[in-house]
Structure 1
Amino acid sequence: MTYVKWIFWSVIALLMAAFLHYTLPQTDIVRISDTYEKRIDYGANSIFWSGSDNGSASASANRDVFFIQTVRANGKPIVYRNEDTGWGWPPYFKFDTATLQAEAADLRSTRAATDWVAVRHYGWRSELLSIYPNAVSVRAVDSADVTLIPWFNIVFLIVLFAVVWAVRVRWRRFRASRAEPGEFPSVPARRGWFSRWRNR
């Protein structure tokens, strides 16, 4: 039973970690090589694309999506989609897709004359699932070696950990206060038995 419990909570922890990794913002330092627009037909991967509550037709099975082609400092390409999140999840409240596309197009550069750009985004890139991270903002940076500290993620994770810890402590106290003597280690009867055993 103990192994089942540990497996269950391990799966929950992995799912939570994957959810946070997908949802929280990340920043890549890249060179923008091109921007374009493409009509996308949604399938089983539709959950990884923005919903229809941000101004697009709700009954449409496809729509035009902006894309931003980039290249990392190590030469590996990565493509971002550029979609509004609207009022949906994740709560980035992004409504400036057209403006962001214009900014990205203005920051394009070549390998010979490289201008590095910090692309803030969320989501994953998977060629197998045909999904792309969604760009939230772009801005020029001095070099590919610039250090950007993810302050929002740090503060958010600290607050989340504090909330989870506080709930856990209060839940254990609640259970202990209503437990029969000897049922939980925190109940006085168990502590008294341990004290008597230790003093033998």
Structure 2
Amino acid sequence: MRYVKWGFWLVVIGFAAVFLHYNLPRHDIVRIVGTEVRRIDFGENSIFWAAPDVGTANATSRDVRFINTVRPNGKTLVFRNEDTGWGWPPYFKLDSSDLQAQAESLISTSADPIWVSVTRYGWRSRWLTIFPNAVGLKVVPAPDTRIIPWANIVILTLLVIIVLTIRAMWRQFRQRSIDPLFEEAGEAWDDAEEGAKGWFDRFIGRK
């Protein structure tokens, strides 16, 4: 039973870690090399794409903005640029058009690079054909600029506080309400067992 319990909690923690890894903001320092708009037909991977721009109609096929970048090590990284609107994840991003214009203004070459910190969420997977969603751009002085993830620190701290608070409340509730019920049930079972034993002894003629 102990292994089942630990297995259950490992699965819960695993799901929570994957959920947070996908939805929490991260920062990539890159050089923007171009932007484009592509027509995307959504299929099984549609859950990894945001909703259409606020004010437009829902569709299974639509134009999606992309920002093409290169990392300091020379590897490419492509971001999608979609509104999140008022849905999930709660970035309340309503300015994908403005962000695309900002990205175009920051296009640079390797000879004269402009390094940009892209705030994004999501994953890049060629196998699933999914892209991280850019939610903000900020020019940085160098490719090795250190970005402190203050938002993640605050969010994770609040989550730890909430989990510890719920755990403490559950322990108090269990000690005050559930444990006494089990103790009463155990005592009632012992009394019933003793009564049944006494009845059986009388039935077979024991004294």
Which residue of structure 2 aligns with residue 172 of structure 1? 171
Q: Percent of aligned positions with the same letter in both sequences?
A: 54
How far has the Cα of 1:62 moved from its partner?
0.4
2:56 aligns with 56
State the shift of 1:170 in Å.
Answer: 1.0
In structure 1, distance between residues paired with 2:97 and 2:182: 64
Corresponding residue number in structure 2 for 1:47:
47
The residue that corresponds to 1:116 in the other structure is 115
Quote the offset at 1:84 in angstroms: 0.5
- Corresponding residue number in structure 2 for 1:99: 98
Q: Deviation of residue 56 (structure 1)? A: 2.7
Give 1:33's aligned residue: 33
Residue in structure 1 matched with residue 89 of structure 2 by the alignment: 90
Cα distance in 1 for residues equivalent to 2:78 and 2:70: 8
> How much has 1:173 moved relative to structure 2?
1.2
The answer to which structure has the higher helix fraction is 2
Distance 1:80 1:56 in 2: 21
Shift of 1:53: 7.5
1:129 partner letter: L
Matches within 5 A, 1:1-200: 1-52=1-52, 54-58=54-58, 60-178=59-177, 179-180=179-180
- Structure 1 residue runs of 4+, over 4 Å off? none
Per-residue CA deviations over 1:32-64 (Å, capped at 9, x if unaligned) read 011000000000000111124733322x21000
After superposition, the CA RMSD in angstroms is: 1.4
Gaps of 5+ in 1: 184-200
Q: Which amino acid aligns with 1:110?
A: T
Equivalent pairs counted in the alignment come to 182
Compared CA separation, residues 53 and 145, structure 1 to 2 (3 A): closer
CA distance in 2, matches of 1:163, 1:61: 38
Structure of larger gyration radius: 2
Q: What are the ranges of 5 or more consecutive residues in structure 2 without an aligned counterpart? A: 184-207
